[in-house]
Amino acid sequence: MLMTMKEILKDAKDRKYAVGAFNVPNLESIQAVIAAAEELKVPVILQHAEVHENLISMQEIGPIMLDYARRASVPVCVHLDHGASFDLCIQAIRLGFTSIMYDASAKSYEENLEETKEIVKIAHAAGVSVEAELGHIFTSSIGGGEGRGAVGAEDFNSLDDCYTDPITAKNFVEATHVDALAISFGTTHGVYLTEPKLDLNRITEIKKQIDIPFVMHGGSGVSDEDFKTAIQNGITKINYYTYGAMAGGNKIREYVKSVGNNEIFLHDIIAAGKEGVKEDVKSAMKVFADSIL
């Protein structure tokens, strides 16, 4: 059943679990994520990332995402992830996406606030939820998926310069009326090269100032225990892609090895990859929604 992000995250916030948000740049990813959610009976968010426009356009994949969401037996939100383009956000709303992320976090605070305010007015008028971002999520040089190149702690004068400030978050949310806020507390996009140093207490400090759903971007290398602590502290949406995509690739490698010199068919390779994605996504969902399973 198709729902908005605001509707889905309200239950997650009330019951202290997190909803997995998975980028799905092909049909098989959509099928794998929906199947995993239905088997576990948990809500899920299907995402199209603007950076994946080079793999498939939102105009092509969006209607398929929406069709699977409508027919699913669990609540499903269809979301534009890291929409840095105002035009693409409007296209997503027109397509029927129930949620968008307008990401102006690379701009000045003032530009981020004013542009987010404008997109919120448009989206809310159409009944669409909005996520924004404050702070900077570290990005690995491998599979980061943000389209900005590698970004690490060494790129800032101090961690306070890149982590989300609680008072700034309060002012931003009150001014923009966003439905969810992606916050920075030390996580990394892509394949992590060093173990993340997380400031999990920062989530609690931000929650003291503004009590809305918080989003965790860049879960690479985060332990199950740290995921659960982050959720208890206020995280209600967790973006997940890199390791699921790798799991699909690894399953294909295993299948090709098992076939040896025998005939090999494309549909069997695709089926193996889809199963690998599903298994990994299901494992992640079990951690994110542990408190309700």
- CA proximity to 234, closest of 204, 261, 254: 204
> Helix, strand or coil for residue 223?
coil
For residue 190, say whether it is annotated as part of any ligand binding site. yes
For residue 217, say whether it is annotated as part of any ligand binding site. yes
Question: Catalytic residue positions?
Answer: 81
How far is residue 44's CA from residue 38's CA, in Å, rounded to a whole number? Answer: 9
Contact by Cβ (8 Å): 132, 181: yes
For residue 240, say whether it is annotated as part of any ligand binding site. yes
For residue 133, say whether it is annotated as part of any ligand binding site. yes
For residue 242, say whether it is annotated as part of any ligand binding site. yes
How far is residue 232's CA from residue 216's CA, in Å, rounded to a whole number? Answer: 13
How far is residue 259's CA from residue 7's CA, in Å, rounded to a whole number? Answer: 46
Residue 95 main-chain phi, psi, to 5 deg = -70, -25
Give CA separation, 260 vs 246, 256, 275, in Å: 22, 7, 20
How far is residue 159's CA from residue 152's CA, in Å, rounded to a whole number? Answer: 10
How far is residue 11's CA from residue 24's CA, in Å, rounded to a whole number? Answer: 23
Q: Which two tokens stand for residue 277?
A: 């994605």
For residue 239, say whether it is annotated as part of any ligand binding site. yes
Q: What Rg value do the Cα atoms of the chain yield, rounded?
A: 18
How far is residue 286's CA from residue 88's CA, in Å, rounded to a whole number? Answer: 32
Annotated binding site for dihydroxyacetone phosphate: 190, 218-220, 239-242
Annotated binding site: 82, 103, 133, 189-190, 217-220, 239-242
Annotated binding site for Zn(2+): 82, 103, 133, 189, 217
